[in-house]
């Protein structure tokens, strides 16, 4: 591992030497080079270059020379900042102070998002997660434009948050719902409501996960953290949107008071749910958040959750899935992700998917297991029962927030992927 600072330059020249044929990176005369040739001319290549220099053991680098801007600097940081190493990076000199301010904003949010998702569940229970979110947002905006509150466990049923109460009932670390509202222009209409799944650890409950399946479940609050990060950027960049944020926080554990298969939940919008699988808990807490979001009649609702393994089977850990009855919204999210050098892909959601979650003893069930059933689509269909028919709504199944195994772009751990897509999507829809 090198302890000497490595200066890294961008170049459009092809390399011909010991680093192979048309390599992405090379080391020459104690300097690093990213070869932006026709084969490596996109921003993902810059992310891959950052990952490559980290893998080569260079833990102290300085971006130098011409060609560095906000986009390629941020792209490099995404690949270079491994989850657990304390890499040091010196940024290039920028003539425009706005570039420096924007980088500071995005990097601070990126760092917070990665740290909070990587934090072990023993250090981040639901109440502590709510505190972390509150502290983070308080540093992003002035008190006059931002209001925050936490609904604690003993108040959940008073507010009819039946899903969050049930899912967290078996844990000593009790559930809560964190709500923030950002209203910079003191407008009456809420532009967008962000709803996040904040499961700080998911054992699967009585529908117990395997040991390997539990290993990464500290990251099951990635949807809520991404929603908070998106609001953080909106505030730091001074975007003029009235935003309501609801994150439902719980630990899904096994205990004498845990909710069980066969239990029935009755939500305040009149929908009854039979629990078929306690490991399908995320949609139960999101239902609380969606009902709460609609009390403000927002122009748009976005829910964000690490919701299904089915989405990862379909898209891997490279793409976030976007689902909406309005296909224009899901395809616009794909476009918004591309504009921000992130990856997203639409998955189908049709009205017939709603019939697949119909129950026998209740209106709907929280899990279906018939052969050939599209798990990501039926999960979204379940959520649709808690969204009014005429309400613009996008569901994001956040498969790309955490990297189990390292690849050419990311080290293992939280990736910081997704919050930029959400903010750009809000700009494209509302702005």
Q: Which residues contact 208 (CB under 8 A, 6 or more apart)?
A: 254, 279
When pLDDT is averaged across residues 412-430 and rounded to a whole number, the result is 97
pLDDT of residue 83: 67
When pLDDT is averaged across residues 17-21 and rounded to a whole number, the result is 86
Say if residue 21's pLDDT is above 90: no
Q: What residues are paired with 2 via a beta bridge?
A: 58
Q: What is the pLDDT of residues 314-328, one digit of tens each?
A: 999 999 999 999 999
CA atoms of 409 and 141, how far apart (whole Å): 32
Model confidence at 206, in pLDDT bands (50, 70, 90)?
A: very high
CA atoms of 150 and 160, how far apart (whole Å): 14
Q: What is the pLDDT of residues 88-104, one digit of tens each?
A: 999 999 989 999 999 99
Model confidence at 212, in pLDDT bands (50, 70, 90)?
A: very high
47 closest CA partner among 381, 365, 420, 366:
420
Q: Which residues contact 158 (CB under 8 A, 6 or more apart)?
A: none
Looking at residue 324, the DSSP 8-state letter turns out to be: -
pLDDT of residue 19: 87
What is the token pair recorded at 218?
Answer: 């500290």
Say if residue 413's pLDDT is above 60: yes
Say if residue 9's pLDDT is above 70: yes
pLDDT of residue 124: 98
pLDDT of residue 72: 97
Q: What is the number of other CB atoms lying within 10 angstroms of the CB of residue 320?
A: 28
H helices of 181-262, in order, are 211-214, 222-236
When pLDDT is averaged across residues 242-264 and rounded to a whole number, the result is 98
Indicate the CATH number of 110-430 among 3.40.50.300, 3.30.70.260, 3.40.630.10, 1.20.120.1200.
3.40.630.10
When pLDDT is averaged across residues 45-64 and rounded to a whole number, the result is 96
When pLDDT is averaged across residues 216-242 and rounded to a whole number, the result is 97
Contact 412, 404 (CB under 8 A): yes
Model confidence at 3, in pLDDT bands (50, 70, 90)?
A: low
DSSP letters spanning 101-118? HHHHHHHHHHHHHHHHHH
Say if residue 1's pLDDT is above 60: no
With b for 16 or more beta-carbon neighbours within 10 A and e for fewer, the 293-319 pattern comes to bbebebbbbbbbbbbbebbbebbebbb
pLDDT of residue 385: 98
45 closest CA partner among 78, 20, 19, 17:
78
Mean per-residue pLDDT over the chain, rounded: 96
When pLDDT is averaged across residues 405-421 and rounded to a whole number, the result is 95
Looking at residue 156, the DSSP 8-state letter turns out to be: T
Domain residue ranges in the chain? 6-95, 110-430
When pLDDT is averaged across residues 231-249 and rounded to a whole number, the result is 97
Q: What is the pLDDT of residues 152-188, one digit of tens each?
A: 999 999 999 999 999 999 999 999 999 999 999 999 9
Say if residue 2's pLDDT is above 60: no
pLDDT of residue 89: 93
Q: What is the number of other CB atoms lying within 10 angstroms of the CB of residue 391?
A: 17
When pLDDT is averaged across residues 272-297 and rounded to a whole number, the result is 98
Say if residue 370's pLDDT is above 90: no
Contact 86, 29 (CB under 8 A): no
Say if residue 252's pLDDT is above 80: yes
134 closest CA partner among 198, 61, 47:
198
**Residue 425 burial (10 A CB sphere; 0-12, 13-18, 19+):** buried
Q: What residues are annotated to the active site? A: 209, 283
- HEC secondary structure over 4-34: CCEEEEEECCCCEECCEECCCEEEECCEEEE
Contact 399, 311 (CB under 8 A): yes
């Amino acid at each position: 591992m090198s302890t000497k600072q490595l200066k890294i330059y961008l170049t459009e020249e092809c390399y011909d030497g010991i680093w192979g044929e048309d390599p992405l990176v090379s080391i020459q005369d104690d300097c690093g080079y990213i070869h932006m040739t026709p084969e490596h001319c996109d921003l993902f290549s810059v992310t891959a270059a950052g990952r490559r220099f980290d893998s080569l053991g260079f833990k102290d680098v300085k971006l130098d020379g011409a060609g560095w801007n906000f986009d390629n600097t941020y792209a490099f940081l995404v690949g270079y900042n491994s989850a657990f190493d304390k890499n040091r990076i010196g940024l290039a000199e920028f003539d425009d102070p706005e570039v420096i301010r924007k980088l500071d904003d995005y990097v601070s949010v990126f760092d917070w998002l990665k740290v909070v998702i990587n934090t072990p569940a023993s250090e981040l229970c639901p109440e502590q997660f709510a505190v972390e979110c509150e502290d983070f947002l308080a540093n992003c905006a002035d008190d006059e434009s931002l209001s925050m509150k936490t609904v604690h466990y003993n108040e959940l049923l008073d507010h009819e948050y039946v899903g969050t109460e049930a899912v967290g009932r078996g844990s000593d670390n009790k559930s809560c719902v964190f709500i923030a509202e950002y209203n910079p222009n003191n407008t009456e209409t809420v532009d967008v409501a962000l709803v996040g799944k904040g499961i700080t650890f998911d054992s699967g409950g009585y529908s117990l996960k395997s040991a390997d399946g539990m290993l990464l479940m500290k990251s099951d609050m990635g949807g809520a953290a991404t929603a908070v990060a998106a609001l953080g950027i909106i505030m730091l960049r001074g975007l003029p949107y009235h935003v309501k944020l609801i994150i439902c926080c719980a630990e899904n554990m096994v205990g004498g008071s845990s909710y069980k298969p066969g239990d029935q939940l009755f939500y305040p919008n009149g929908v009854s749910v039979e629990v078929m699988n306690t490991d399908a808990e995320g949609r139960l807490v999101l239902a609380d958040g969606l009902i709460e979001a609609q009390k403000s009649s927002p122009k748009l609702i976005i829910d964000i959750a690490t919701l299904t393994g089915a989405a990862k089977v379909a898209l891997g850990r490279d793409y976030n899935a976007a689902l909406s009855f309005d296909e224009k919204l899901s395809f616009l999210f794909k476009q918004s992700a591309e504009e921000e050098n992130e990856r997203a892909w639409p998955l189908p959601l049709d009205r017939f998917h709603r019939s697949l979650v119909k129950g026998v003893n209740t209106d709907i069930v929280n899990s279906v297991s018939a052969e050939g059933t599209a798990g990501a689509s039926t999960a979204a269909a379940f959520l649709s029962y808690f969204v009014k028919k005429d309400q613009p709504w996008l569901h994001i199944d956040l498969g790309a927030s955490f990297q189990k195994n390292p690849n050419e772009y990311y080290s293992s751990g939280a990736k910081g992927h997704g919050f930029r897509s959400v903010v750009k999507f809000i700009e494209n829809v509302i702005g």
